Amino acid sequence: MYQTFTMDLAGRTLRVDVNRVGKQANGCAFMQYGETTVLCTATASEKPREGIDFFPLSVEYEEKLYAVGKIPGGFNKREGKASENAILTSRVIDRPMRPLFPKDYRNDVTLNNMVMSVDPECRPELVAMLGSAIATSISDIPFCGPCATTQVGMVDGELIINPSQEQWKNGDLNLTVASTSEKVIMIEAGANEIPEDVMIDAIYKAHEINQTIIAFINDMVAKVGKAKHEYTSCAIPEEMFTAMKEIVTPEEMEVAVFTDEKQVREENLRVIREKLEEAFAENEEWLPILGEALYQYQKKTVRKMILKDHKRPDGRAITQIRPLAAEVDLIPRVHGSAMFTRGQTQICTVTTLAPLSEMQKVDGLDANETSKRYMHHYNFPSYSVGETKPSRGPGRREIGHGALAEKALVPVLPTEEAFPYTIRTVSETFESNGSTSQASVCASTMSLMAAGVPITRPVAGISCGLVTGDTDDDYIVLTDIQGLEDFFGDMDFKVAGTKEGITAIQMDIKIHGLTRPIVEEAIAKTREARFYILDEVMLPCIGEARPEVGKYAPKIVSLQIDPDKIGEVVGQRGKTINEIIARTGVKIDITDDGNVSVCGTDAAMMDSAVEMIKIITTDFEKGQIFKGKVVSIKEFGAFVEFAPGKEGMVHISKICRERINHVEDVLTLGDKVTVVCLGKDDKGRIGFSIKDVPNN
């Protein structure tokens, strides 16, 4: 017999059915929030996976289009690969939950979330986040939870708990906060330049709501939760660490890692590894786990250096940013380019501009979002870290980093009316040693300005790290972490923003949460750092957006026509508009409300296309002058085409001032002529004259 649990959450009912479906999973929660329904399961393998030194957690978020009454597009009428939104949601579920599993657990665990119906008032992503935590908490899988997640929006300056799809899309804040019963464990935010103090208040308002959800989950665990199963620990034996320290002393390890050159450090560690491999050559138990043991030895060394001695591996001060450099226009012929360098992290971003018709089409569960005008793509090739892996396309990390930078820059982009372009930025990682996502924010800002995109304010990004001790007040926050400090530290706290406020946050941690003083200090330090980056490097390189788009970028002219005239511009089966395009080489887009965009690189051809459209949509009046071409000759006169699909007749008596007997005596097919409108006759037909053109 299944059991149902309910609670009031932000004015709507959250319902969880346990043991109703999915009974063969280790844990299953059939979730309903409003009328949004998500099936959430947690499943673990019986035995650990052999030969690995990490926890094999997989998180899936499946968007079923029947949930919103759609049939998938294309020839194959079933769901294909995960959408970008599904990948990003999976990452947001993964990040707070992964640290709560035992560090020595090597059993495969899969968290699957299948969206089965969507109520626009209750976002399915939030339901999946809660369902994953519930399914794992009530299962027999070892887990140091529960945890809970709350989303916060802002409309007209008011914070909204768990906003609807519409409020989430159109508000000034998209904040997701996950918590345990004591601390915040994950923050993800996109914001319209929200001040730091407002952001902190929103984070801890969400944290308070999370405590009510955790109490709800604890009640479920007490009533239907399974006993956690025993597992084979993969922890490194303490006696192995003792033996390693006799061969390589802590002082030797400190010397090996204490350098600002990544390649030098890796060479030092290679020598140490060879020394240990030789010493343990006869130990069949220790040799297979030497890599993990060496990693942990390095980690303990680096953490002790930072926390106790306030020494960073590259010798920097705790708040010191690595050497910075910036330049624009390093790539010829593209629409805009910029490179940003911070230490051994180097990003080049290229901007491409296109007509609005090039917007990306989105086919997902949000009925309100069908296209994207701005796209940021991030690439991370293996050579950037000195490796030789083949490129297999963007993975979840690349998609996540691109989405974070996109989120950071959207608030400062101009409106479609002010800048009628589709915009794509691509960040290429040339070199990586920590926080490439935030370097891509800086490079992309400069690239956009170099391309002539009139952003409202420049955006910079930076990351802070953390090393904690045995108590909550024993910690140190590091500004601008490099790769080693990220690997061995407890936090990667990325914040992007302008001088007016925050535009994006992404916080990853490896421990069981952060106290409020740590969150406040990290946000304060990232603010100070991004101001420094803006003032010292980015703005001296390019202070404002260029007044015009580049030489090779398409130019766009917009004009408004009467919507009732759209058919005349398009013509029968597109004949008229295609003729304009063929003659001028431009691209023309027309919206249902009569907004026409003419896009091209040749100004003269664009002007010609605009003139043709204006002529086609003009209500002809006496005295108007047009230029055209003779396309037909009759006994009684000539027909002149003055725009694609538009012809007027010049009577033989209106060709010359003197009398002529035959039209052919004066005009031939293809002649270019200027005519003046004579008005309409009693049948509504428009007549033209050549001889009455002023100054003719």
- Domain map (residue ranges) of the chain: 3-145+202-224, 238-307, 324-540, 555-616, 625-689
- 684 — pLDDT class (breaks 50, 70, 90): low
pLDDT (0 to 100) of residue 368: 64
pLDDT band for 461, please (50, 70, 90 cuts): very high
pLDDT at 414: 97
Is residue 136 over pLDDT 90?
yes
pLDDT tens for each residue of 187-231: 999 999 999 999 999 999 999 999 999 999 999 999 999 999 999
Instruction: For 299-322, give the DSSP string.
Output: HHHHHHHHHTT---TT---TTPPP
Pairing of strands 158-161, 491-497: unpaired
Instruction: Indicate whether 683 pLDDT > 70.
Output: no
Highest mean pLDDT: which range of 52-56, 343-347, 481-485, 549-553: 343-347
Q: Would the CATH topology of 238-307 be identical to that of 555-616? A: no
Q: Write down the pLDDT at residue 14.
A: 98
Q: What is the pLDDT of residue 672?
A: 86
Please provide the distance, in angstroms rounded to a whole number, between the alpha carbons at the two ends of the chain.
96
For the chain, the average pLDDT equals: 91
At 492 the three-state DSSP class reads: strand
By three-state DSSP, how is residue 273 classified?
helix
* pLDDT tens track for 628-663: 888 888 888 888 887 777 778 888 888 888 888 888
Q: Mind listing the pLDDT tens digit for each residue in 308-344?
A: 888 888 889 999 999 999 999 999 999 999 999 999 9
- The tokens for 527 are 């603010």
- Average pLDDT, stretch 336-354? 97
Q: Give the distance, in angstroms, between the CA of residue 604 and the centroid of all CA atoms in the same chain.
A: 37
Max CA pair span of the chain: 117
pLDDT surpasses 70 at 371: yes
Count of Cβ atoms closer than 10 Å to residue 428 Cβ: 20
CATH topology of domain 3-145+202-224: Ribosomal Protein S5; domain 2 (3.30.230)
Q: Is the pLDDT of residue 266 over 80?
A: yes
What are the tens digits of pLDDT across the range 389-434?
888 888 999 999 999 999 999 999 999 889 989 999 999 999 999 8
* Model confidence, pTM: 0.88
- Residue spans of alpha helices (H) in 66-123: 84-97
Q: In the CATH hierarchy, which top-level class contains the domain 625-689?
A: mainly beta
CATH number for 238-307 (one of 1.10.10, 1.10.1740, 3.30.450, 3.30.559): it is 1.10.10
**Mean pLDDT to the nearest integer, 6-35:** 97
Q: What pLDDT score was predicted for residue 617? A: 81
- Stronger pLDDT, 595 or 448, i.e. the higher one: 448
Report the pLDDT averaged over residues 337-364: 92
The residue among 518, 598, 109, 521 whose CA lies nearest residue 356 is 598
Q: What is the pLDDT of residue 369?
A: 64
Q: What confidence score (pLDDT) does residue 235 get?
A: 86
pLDDT, residue 696, reads 65
pLDDT digit string, tens, across residues 498-507: 999 999 999 9
From the candidate CATH numbers 3.10.620.30, 3.40.50.300, 3.30.230.70, 3.40.50.10860, the one assigned to the domain spanning 324-540: 3.30.230.70
Q: Give pLDDT tens digits for 56-105.
A: 999 999 999 999 998 887 788 888 889 999 999 999 999 999 999 999 99
Residue 21 — very low, low, confident or very high, per pLDDT cuts 50/70/90?
very high
Residue 133 burial (10 A CB sphere; 0-12, 13-18, 19+): buried
What CATH homologous superfamily does 555-616 map to? Answer: K Homology domain, type 1 (3.30.1370.10)
CA dihedral 603, 607, 612, 615 (to 10 degrees): 170
| pLDDT for 251 beyond 80 | yes
**Each residue's pLDDT tens digit, 531-564:** 999 999 999 999 999 999 988 999 988 888 888 8
